[in-house]
Structures are given as C-alpha cells and as structure tokens.
Structure 1
C-alpha cells in the first residue's frame, strides 16, 4: 500500500513521535511512503536548530535521519516554513537572513505537493493539527 503522511504538530508533540513510528512501521511492513509533508508547526521537525532536552528524544533529528536513510520525498510547506523561520539557502538569501536551517533531505515546496501526494497514495494519514 502507498501512504502519504502529513504532520501538523511540532517535534515535541506526542503526535510527531506517533507519526514517525507509523512511518517506520509502514516501511517495515513492506509499504511505500510516497511523500512526507510537514505543515503548520510540523515544519519545525525539518529544522537543524531544534534542541531537545537531554531526557527527551530528538525527534527533529530522528525525522531527518529517517528521510535521508530511506531516501524519502520529504516536503516542508514553504509558506508555513517561512512564517516560522525555517529556511533553505535560497530563501535565506532572498529574505536576507544570516543562515539557513532546513535539514538535509528536506525540500521547501507549496501546498500543492500535499494534494499531489493524496492523489498518488492509497491513504493519506495526518498527525497533529488543530
């Protein structure tokens, strides 16, 4: 089965951990993830600047490792990312910011990518949000 996964919650939220474990279980079960799409506060999970307390898992780093390890299509909503200060090199230059903080393996793109993922997948599963 083909899954698209959307994450709306920040990396410290329980739904972020559940989403990651669900994604891991999908691949372990022989399923395919056509796209991960991070929206709203979920975009923080794609930042290299998130620092988790020592007694908590670093879900931002775990998400980035997961995307790189499995060569997944990890998409971060550009509008939500810009609003929350998650920038790639191009956007940091465009808006004259001193640094980029989008983790390796992720790409900034529009909400149309979520729509496309829903069309490509058998199931769209979302985690978090209001």
Structure 2
C-alpha cells in the first residue's frame, strides 16, 4: 500500500535524492552532496512516500501563481517500476488541486528514465536546454 506523510527527517529524505541522483551528478560533473540537497529542500513542501509502511521516496513541491512545481520526485531504486512514481504524480495532482492551482510543472534530466514516466502521465515538453526537459500538464 502506498501512502504519503509530511517529511519527518529532511536529512534522510535528502539521502534518498543523493543516492538516486548520484550517477546523474557524476555524468554531468555536478558536485552535490547530501548537505547541499538538504539546503535546497528545506523551504519546499516535502512529503515522504511510504510503501507497506516504509519510506521509499520523496515528493518536493513549490507553489506559485502559475501552479505547482514538482521540484523533486524520488523513488528508491529497489522500489522503482512498481507504479509508485505514477501514484506519486497522482498525489502531486491532488495536492495541487487542494492548493487551488491548475498546472503541474517539472524539470527532468534528458538522460533520466523518469522522462518516460512523465510522458506516460500526459506531461508535454514545453522547452529544452542542454541537460533538461521542462515539462507541464494542465489539471482539473
């Protein structure tokens, strides 16, 4: 069973991101550490993703007048490809609707397999840069 709770331990949550993203950071020669990630997420709306009672991922959101920006969606590697990412996107939509906004936005590395998750969930590429796709979708 998948559930969500406000993040209890931001350092542990940052560690999930660090472990998931390490190969991408190395690929792009980005020198990020867990402490750097923690600094970046402390002011976001942070949610733990639970699967059968254990924390397996994180959702990080920022809201503005244009909508909900999914700053980070991480699922620990051993729990990927089990529908948890798609369920987490549905939770992002629920939280966005609750906040009164009608658009989800995100940025994803071009080399990330998460890009395919977003395409399957009706996100469209709005623009691209060297390393990133910027994607969005309307919600109702």
Q: Please, what TM-score do these two structures have when normalized by structure 2?
A: 0.29
Q: Which structure features the higher share of helix residues?
A: 1
Higher relative contact order (CA 8 A, sep 6+): 1
